[in-house]
Chain A
């Protein structure tokens, strides 16, 4: 994408930024890259394989990137929503970063997919996306591609799980979470797991058992979902990183549905929009409270 190459080269040449975080063609597919020279910028690309949420590299935990200085970062709309959350939670200063939005026509679910975007290979979050032209940007590049198709598998799976009895659902998650080895990859890649010290790493008291047995795994996955409720932008990086293939976006999707139905929440790239958890309405529904 020449427009992107020209823009980022100029940003580096003018000294506006020290590095550009974008996508490149790696030896085995598209991957993130930290470009430090105009020459590096020639490698920058953007297409349906740009699955990764680069906002995660802006997290304050990335000390090895902070030392590189001011960064520009290439963002899809969904990624910009993660940046908005970082700003809302004061994890990032707006002036410390240059945001390059890309008009987006959807991405694959995996980095290895090929061919035209279809309901079978498109990421769950893409269908009906309201953020295809992010507004939380300093620069916006590309032409607006056609709307992406809608993937139905996740919604269908959530609905199917809800049909089951609690005991059957418990069995489903027992089988699925049995594979979790608690490598914490889901946490490490998440752009919004920003805690310096995670509750799951605390040992005194130990609220979440750190061992990858089912009891610890249930506790961890409940805590993860809960701590991301109303913050998760549904980028799906956790599931992509999971070496055990746990359907984490099914949990995230369910939480997203709850946040939408109860509090009207949708991921947004407006950093001034209130977060649903941490705010309240005196008239919130309380049908579950006696």
Chain B
């Protein structure tokens, strides 16, 4: 670790959050889900540091809604005597500090940046990206649905984070702080009184090791091999049966930190005005590819699920050099039909290995 380091005690953490809120910044952090029978967490804008639960369950939806809201107005139109007047909606990019991002959520941000800055620069996305500082907290390694090592990440990955907090492992709590980016350094400098001189608490290394051990064995899939296999096997018989239990509900895409597809809709309000909005969409819905003619090139759920796997593990890597998945496992946990991406990746890995050995030297 060659980055600048600090130490942040539990009480100074609270004081820092209070100071951020008082300075008019929006602080987004995991909090216990209101009104739910099971223990759940959500990322929410908070007004009180006491509400923040950094050691709770993984928030059920990722951070993406703070950068790509589920719905946002792009412009308003008014009909005026045969003419149309367009009103741009005012940019709303509040200064935000995310406190306690899961590393798998933070890592998704630079990945999605690639497509958002591809054929045009997506202003709302980058408007919010640039207004946001991400403070991640090293993950304890959640459960058997986690597969971040498969996509080259780990419970303590700093990708996408501006500042990283490592729990001290001490009874009194507190964090080892690693400053990752200039934006992170600026935030730490601006609130320097809360940070103490660097020291590495004894528990940090142990916790990081334990976290890695918790998820490392979950899958042995190799995305590079899988991608080579995917490139050649669009019509493989595996796809005919793969998604039989899948409902096509798209809950996976809603909770996914990297799924970013959207739909543009015009919503009329009365006869002569309305709003153009962009809303989340998902390739798992039949209407996603339904043509006006009635033809649907992805007629069945099997074809739609193949698209999900291909986009994440072949198409996006081909175009942008990155896998469109951070291994957070939310799609597995959210799926009402038991679709299991790490299991599917294992299966694809087996097929890739056997086709490689079949095509290799006798």
**A residues neighboring B (CB under 8 Å):** 26-34, 52, 56, 61-65, 67-68, 109-110, 153, 175-176, 179, 181-189, 201, 203, 206, 209-213, 216, 237, 240-245, 247
Contact A244 B245 (CB under 8 A): no
B155 to chain A, nearest CB (A): 18
User: B280's closest neighbor in chain A, by CB?
Assistant: A181
B338 and A32 contacting across the interface, CB-CB below 8 Å: yes
Stretch at the interface among B91-99, B202-210, B248-256: B248-256
Closest-by-CB residue of B relative to A19 is B244
Chain A residues, CB < 8 A from B280: 181-183, 212
- A153 and chain B: residue at smallest CB distance: B37
Contact partners of A240 in chain B: CB under 8 A: 336
- Of B23-31, B106-114, B169-177, B299-307, the segment with at least 4 beta carbons within 8 Å of chain A is B299-307
Question: Which residue from B255, B267, B285 sits with its C-beta under 8 Å from A211?
Answer: B267
Would you mind naming 15 contact pairs between A and B with Cβ atoms under 8 Å apart?
Answer: A32-B338, A63-B300, A182-B71, A183-B251, A187-B249, A203-B265, A210-B267, A213-B277, A240-B336, A241-B249, A243-B61, A243-B251, A243-B254, A244-B60, A244-B61
A237 touching B343, Cβ below 8 Å: no
- For A206, the chain B residues whose CB sits under 8 A away are 267-268
| A187 to B245 Cα, complex, angstroms | 16
The answer for the CA separation of A68 and B300 in the assembled complex, in Å, is 13
Contact residues in B for A186 (Cβ distance below 8 Å)? 249
Shortest CB distance A25–B (Å): 10
CB–CB B285/A29 < 8 A: no
Task: Write out the residue numbers on chain A whose beta carbons fall within 8 Å of the beta carbon of B267.
Answer: 206, 209-211
A185 near B249: Cβ-Cβ < 8 Å: yes
Is A241 touching B340 in the complex (CB atoms < 8 A)? Answer: no
Q: How far is the CA of A210 from the CA of B282 in the complex (A)?
A: 14
Given contacts A175-B34, A181-B70, A184-B250, whether A28 and B332 have CB atoms under 8 Å apart is yes
B235 at the binding interface (Cβ < 8 Å) = no
Partner of B336, one of A67, A181, A185, A216: A185
What range describes how many residues of B lie at the interface?
35 or more
* Contact B254 A32, beta carbon cutoff 8 Å: no
Please report the C-alpha to C-alpha distance between residue A110 and residue B61 in the assembled complex, in whole angstroms: 18
Convert B161-185 into 0s and 1s, putting 1 for each residue whose CB lies closer than 8 angstroms to a CB of A.
0000000000000000000000000
Residue of B with least CB distance to A113: B38
The CA-CA distance from A186 to B299 in the complex, in Å, is 21
Docked-complex contact A183 and B254, CB < 8 angstroms: yes
| Cα-based distance from A140 to B2 in the complex (angstroms) | 67
CB < 8 Å A-B pair total: 130
Query: Would A211 and B71 count as touching, CB distance under 8 A?
Result: yes
Complex: chain A residue closest to B268, CB-CB: A206
Could you say which of B244, B268, B285, B337 contacts A64, with CB atoms under 8 Å apart? B244
Known: A189-B336, A241-B251. A64 touches B300 (CB 8 A): yes
Q: Are A27 and B340 in contact (CB under 8 A)?
A: yes
In whole angstroms, what is the CA distance A185 to B300 when docked? 17
**A183-B301 contact, Cβ under 8 Å, with A27-B340, A32-B338, A241-B336:** no
Are B250 and A31 closer than 8 Å at their CB atoms? no
Question: Is the CB–CB distance between B332 and A31 below 8 Å?
Answer: no
B33: interface (CB < 8 Å):
yes
Whether B300 pairs with A109 at a CB distance below 8 angstroms is no
With a cutoff of 8 Å between Cβ atoms, the chain B residues found around residue A33 in the complex are: 245
Bound CA span A179–B253, Å: 15
Give the complex CA separation of A290 and B115 in angstroms: 59
Q: CB within 8 Å of A: which of B141-196?
A: 144-145
Q: Is there contact, CB below 8 Å, between A65 and B244?
A: yes
Counting CB contacts under 8 A, is B273 at the interface? no
Which residues of chain B are within 8 angstroms of A213 by Cβ–Cβ distance? 71, 277
Residues in chain A near residue B285, CB distance under 8 A? 184, 188
7 more A-B residue pairs beyond the given contacts A27-B340, A240-B336, A243-B255, with a C-beta to C-beta distance below 8 A: A32-B338, A64-B301, A175-B35, A181-B254, A241-B334, A243-B251, A245-B35
In whole Å, how far is B45's beta carbon from the nearest beta carbon of chain A? 12
Q: Whole-angstrom distance between the alpha carbons of A27 and B221 in the complex?
A: 15
Q: From the candidates A64, A211, A243, A247, name the one contacting B302 in the complex (CB within 8 A).
A: A64
CB-CB under 8 A from B277, the residues of chain A are 211, 213
Q: How far is the CA of A209 from the CA of B332 in the complex (A)?
A: 30
Interface flag for B243 (CB, 8 Å): yes
When A and B form their complex, which 3 residue pairs have the shortest distance between CB atoms, in order from nearest? Answer: A31-B338, A188-B249, A185-B249
Which B residues lie within 8 Å of A216 (CB)?
71
Docked complex Cα distance between A201 and B263 (Å): 13
Q: Does B312 contact A (CB under 8 A)?
A: no
Chain B 260-309 interface residues, beta-carbon cutoff 8 Å to A: 263, 265, 267-268, 277, 279-280, 282, 285-287, 299-302
Query: Is B36 engaged at the interface, CB distance under 8 Å to the other chain?
Result: yes
Tell me the minimal C-beta distance from A201 to chain B in angstroms: 6
**Contact of A26 (CB < 8 Å), options: B38, B255, B287, B338:** B338
Given A65-B244, A183-B280, A28 and B251 touching (CB < 8 A)? no
* B250: A residues at CB distance < 8 A: 183-185, 188
> Residues of B contacting A68 with CB < 8 Å?
244
Quick check: is B350 within 8 A (CB to CB) of the other chain? no
B35 in contact with A176 (CB, 8 Å)? yes
Chain B residues closer than 8 Å to A189, beta-carbon distance:
247, 249, 336-337
Shortest A126–chain B CB gap in Å is 15
**Inter-chain contact A212/B336, CB cutoff 8 Å:** no
Q: Name which of B251, B268, B286, B340 has the most chain A CB atoms within 10 A of its CB.
A: B251
Which residue of chain A has its CB nearest to the CB of B343?
A: A27
Residue B353 at the A interface, CB < 8 A? no
- A175 and B287 CA atoms in complex are apart in Å by 29
B36 nearest CB neighbor, chain A only = A245
Taking a contact as CB atoms under 8 Å apart, the answer to whether A28 and B144 are in contact is yes
Q: Which of B60, B265, B301 contacts A243 (CB 8 A)?
A: B60
Chain B residues with CB below 8 A from A153, complex form: 37
- Bound CA–CA A211/B276 (angstroms): 10
CA distance A206 to B269 in the complex (A): 11
Which residues from chain B contact A181 at a C-beta distance below 8 Å?
61, 65, 70, 254, 280
